[in-house]
Amino acid sequence: MKRVALVGMPNTGKSTLFNRLTGAQAKVGNWPGITVDLLSAKLLLGDQMVQLVDLPGIYDLRGFSEDEHVVTTFLSQQSVDVLLVVLNASQIERQLQLFAQLAQFKVPVVLVLNMADEAAALGITIEREALAGWLGVPICLVSAKHGQGMEQLRNLMARALRAPAQASPPDDSVIEAAIKSAVHVPAQASHRLTEKIDRVLLDPWLGLPLFFGVMFLLFEAVFWLGTPVQNALAAVFSTVRSAALEPALAAAPPLLSGLLLDGVYNGLSTVASFVPLIILFFLAMAIVEDTGYLSRAAFLIDALMARFGLDGRSFVMILMGFGCNVPALMGTRVMRSRGLRLLTMLVIPFSLCSARLQVFLFFIAALFPPRAAPLVLFSLYVMSIAAAMVTSLVFKRRLINSDPFVLEIPPYRFPTLRQIALRGWHEVRHFLRRATRFIVAGVILVWVLTHFPAAAAPGSSETWAGHLGVWLNPVLGPLGIDPKLTIALIFGFVAKEIVIGSLAVIYAREGGALVSAIAQQVDWVQAYSFMLFTLIYTPCLSTIATIRSEARSPAFSVVAVAWPLALAWLASFAFYQVARHF
């Protein structure tokens, strides 16, 4: 099968073009010698099927960024029959340099000038045929977002598949002459509406408060919409369980039905519970990113983040992490420097997510007077931010941001519903494919630990988890975390949502009886120490699964689990020992 590669600078709408050409059927794939996943899809051009590969956006072939390396490696090692070079039509003047550099690969080129509608709105005129004559390649003007010019593009691609390889690459003087004679840019080409909006959103005084306001509203919207959907989904899963699965397995041996229901089925429902959040998060991300606000947020907050070796985009993801760490980790893909991305991924899990919040609300209500409750919760948020700051300061010299911080501030744009829907769909599929097996395996492991040996009462101190709790006592005892609470921490490793449920199993009590049992056996110092540990150690199995699949580095995944554990131990130890002695 012939192969077409899509290349272009960032912010040229390259992914939108890819989606427009291929629809929703693109696949993520690995390539030999290439460290990132590339999207590819089959495409019917005329009478032949070709493979279209979306390469990462690059500025230059002479630079040193990882993405540039990926593109040069791909183009020199894989056979490519046609190169689809995407440029932003309103920035053609500077972007033609990349086209000239790509000509060295001697592959037939089709030049796509995307966002032609924006260029026209700016008063830029491009004489397509004259330009094609100068550069010696077929050119078409398209708007991938609105689907304009796609028919012509397909025809040009089909023709290029039969064309001989590119002659000699045009040199700088030819490009300059081509621009001079075929591209006309008015003296004052600026986006008026964008300028007006920026005057408010980037205002020296209003900018930051507006930014926090926007983030807060998005956040509220995600949970306002997401929580009922999550609850409905959980209800469906438990109905299926009680109405269909439990009767069907009634005759099976208890251990088998336990494994299938509490292990496999609970694992699958854990995975499913993330789906609505991921969809809504990427809906919010599409709004923030595709409108161009993400780069404005980076502009506003960069002064603070630069000190921690991070940048403004990291901040947005960390903030999103306070909702749910999993989509926030997936969102770090916008950062193209691996060092910066890994550092951000190391920091995100400290964000106090909504699942941990449930655990804290339960313990605070059980052990603290109502007057102290808000203060206790607030202190946990402070600790969450402090853990993130400490971590970035410790690791910023090892995970260095290699990419120069020179970002484009694109004009404001309205994403189309199609763009948003495709994005959500791609992300959910990616998460399900990468994380399902890992999460189900983890849930089964914890089920085995808390249910074996078979004679012991589930979750009790006679189970393997109970033995582990006793065995860990020398380590966790100095933190005030007794063997029973240790079992809860082992459950919490899977998901914080199940911690309270697991306490009911461990203490063999429910509701008010559970609260009073805990209040009798645990004092507030122990409870706060337990909450600190819960806040800082591994947020959940899904987070680890996501880190593992996104970072694609076993060593980094180990650090991402071990470091928070060490930090959790230190923080709880320091708190417990100080609080006990004073």
Binding site for another protein (CB under 8 A): 9, 59-60, 62-65, 90-91, 93-94, 97-98, 122, 124, 185, 189-190, 202, 204, 207-208, 295, 298-304, 306, 402, 404-411
Rounded to the nearest angstrom, the gap between the alpha carbon of residue 16 and the centroid of all alpha carbons in its chain is 18
Cβ-based nearer residue to another protein, 55 or 465: 55
- Tokens 């131990």 sit at which residue? 569
Whether 56 contacts 180, CB under 8 Å:
no
Q: Is the dihedral of CA 255, 260, 262, 263 positive or negative?
A: positive
Q: How far is the CB of 303 from another protein (least distance, A)?
A: 3
Q: How far is the CB of 64 from another protein (least distance, A)?
A: 5
Q: How far apart are CA 447 and CA 266, in angstroms?
A: 10
Cβ-based nearer residue to another protein, 250 or 303: 303
Cα Rg, the chain, nearest whole Å: 27
Whether 445 contacts 296, CB under 8 Å:
no
Between CA 14 and CA 20, with CA 18 as vertex, the angle to 5 degrees is 115
Cβ-based nearer residue to another protein, 298 or 366: 298
Cβ-based nearer residue to another protein, 249 or 407: 407
Q: How far is the CB of 382 from another protein (least distance, A)?
A: 21
* Beta-sheet pairing, 48-54 with 2-8: parallel
Q: How far is the CB of 179 from another protein (least distance, A)?
A: 11
333: its two tokens? 């893909």
Q: How far is the CB of 302 from another protein (least distance, A)?
A: 5
122: its two tokens? 């700016």
Cβ-based nearer residue to another protein, 46 or 404: 404
Cis-peptide into 228, omega within 30 deg: no
Q: How far is the CB of 306 from another protein (least distance, A)?
A: 7
Cβ-based nearer residue to another protein, 309 or 492: 309
Q: How far apart are CA 277 and CA 275, in angstroms?
A: 5
Q: How far apart are CA 218 and CA 320, in angstroms?
A: 9
Structure letter (DSSP) for residue 55: P
Q: How far is the CB of 408 from another protein (least distance, A)?
A: 6
| DSSP run (H or E) holding 531 | helix 524-536
Cβ-based nearer residue to another protein, 300 or 443: 300
Whether 317 contacts 326, CB under 8 Å:
no
Q: How far is the CB of 141 from another protein (least distance, A)?
A: 16
Cβ-based nearer residue to another protein, 220 or 408: 408
**φ/ψ (deg, to 5) at 342:** -65, -40
